[in-house]
Amino acid sequence: MLSYTCKTAVKAVIYLASKYESGNNAGIKEISEYINASEHTVGKILQTLVKHNVINSVKGPSGGFFISKEQRKQTIINIVESIDGKQVFKECGLGLSKCSSTHPCPIHNDYKKARDIIEKLFGSKTIIDLCKPVNNGLTYLMG
Amino acid sequence: MLSYTCKTAVKAVIYLASKYESGNNAGIKEISEYINASEHTVGKILQTLVKHNVINSVKGPSGGFFISKEQRKQTIINIVESIDGKQVFKECGLGLSKCSSTHPCPIHNDYKKARDIIEKLFGSKTIIDLCKPVNNGLTYLMG
DNA sequence: AGAATAAAAGCACTTTAATACTTTTATTCA
DNA sequence: TGAATAAAAGTATTAAAGTGCTTTTATTCT
């Protein structure tokens, strides 16, 4: 469903948000170590997210990435759309470019149901929602 | 969710099955033209499906691929598992290797619901089910 | 102002998926 | 039996995704 890069993006943002309370910025190194991903990859991803106003960054000493209170209220669909694009939840289950309710592929109706659930999931869960279980130690971002 | 190759595989099998009534085999060229995919790619995919006993083939003149009455009763999950592997419907929404109900990722519960619907869809729809709308002209396999 | 820090940006490399090409094997038909 | 046909199988190429490295720019602190 999501690209590997996009999954990494979500994990990185959740880490960043779960660190929010501290008031400190997080550097690329710190983030990539925590979510067990390549430093360069994380750097690239976070740059893209800054461009899309999902997170913020500051250069220089004591710089790094951070997420504002307002930004934490975003749903994670913003992350997904920034990395994989807005069409992710519109794609046909069989890869047909012109699959729709009026011109459906053989699995259109059933596939759409599941796809809509995933879209709704990403469109309703906020970043805050997802970092709660991480802060509580109930879920993990690595492994 | 499914790889491009896997989507092509499903389309190829549906075409093959929708041709079943004619009693004739279908050649690679014919199939690839109908589903608008590369001849070589279709050849490779169908070879794999023959190995997994999803379809059959005969070499030589008037040879080609065909699907038996019994094979048409299979659900399309057999196609998916032959091409993309059995783990497709088990994967974590955030790409964690050890995500489960006892060790969940932050979106585990919701994501699993949708994933299970898709698994159920592919595990319940038979090849026959899917070629009916094609034969009726209600759905298409190209475009 | 200068040194140090850390992200931004651009370019290059690697890996994997997908596609293309070539040779081999099996079957049919004359 | 030999020619033609069509899939099987193996190899090579291409394209895309992901990763790595280097240079530039912005910021902070002394």
Output the pLDDT for position A68.
94
B65 sits in the region (left: phi over 0; alpha: psi -120 to 50; else beta) called: beta
Helix (H, G, I), strand (E, B) or coil at A126: strand
Output the pLDDT for position B141.
82
Give, in Å, how far the C1' of C28 lies from the CA of A74: 66
**A130–B138 CB contact, under 8 Å:** no
Instruction: Tell me what the mean pLDDT of segment B90-112 comes to.
Output: 89
Instruction: Tell me what the mean pLDDT of segment B32-38 comes to.
Output: 93
Output the pLDDT for position B43.
96
Residue A10 makes CB contacts below 8 A (sequence gap 6+) with: A2, A76, A79, A80, A130, B94
pLDDT band for position B143 (cuts 50, 70, 90): low
* CB nearest A7 (choices: B94, B133, B138): B94
Output the pLDDT for position B5.
96
Whole-model pTM above 0.85? yes
Output the pLDDT for position A130.
92
pLDDT band for position A143 (cuts 50, 70, 90): low
- How far is the C-alpha of A12 from the C-alpha of A48, rounded, in Å? 12
Q: Which residues of A touch B (CB under 8 A)?
A: 1-2, 4, 7-8, 10-11, 14, 76, 93-98, 103-108, 110-111, 113-115, 117-118, 121, 125, 129-131, 133-134, 138-143
A–B: how many Cβ contacts below 8 A?
A: 106
Quote the minimal CA–CA distance from A61 to chain B in Å.
Answer: 32
**A139–B105 CB contact, under 8 Å:** yes
Please report where in the chains the tokens 């190829």 appear, as a residue.
B12
Q: What are the residues facing A64 on neighbouring strands?
A: A58
CB–CB of A57/A28 below 8 Å? Answer: no
Give tens-digit pLDDT for A29-62.
999 999 999 999 999 999 999 999 999 999 999 8
Give tens-digit pLDDT for A98-140.
889 988 898 998 899 999 999 999 999 999 999 888 888 888 7
Give, in Å, how far the C1' of D17 lies from the CA of A4: 9
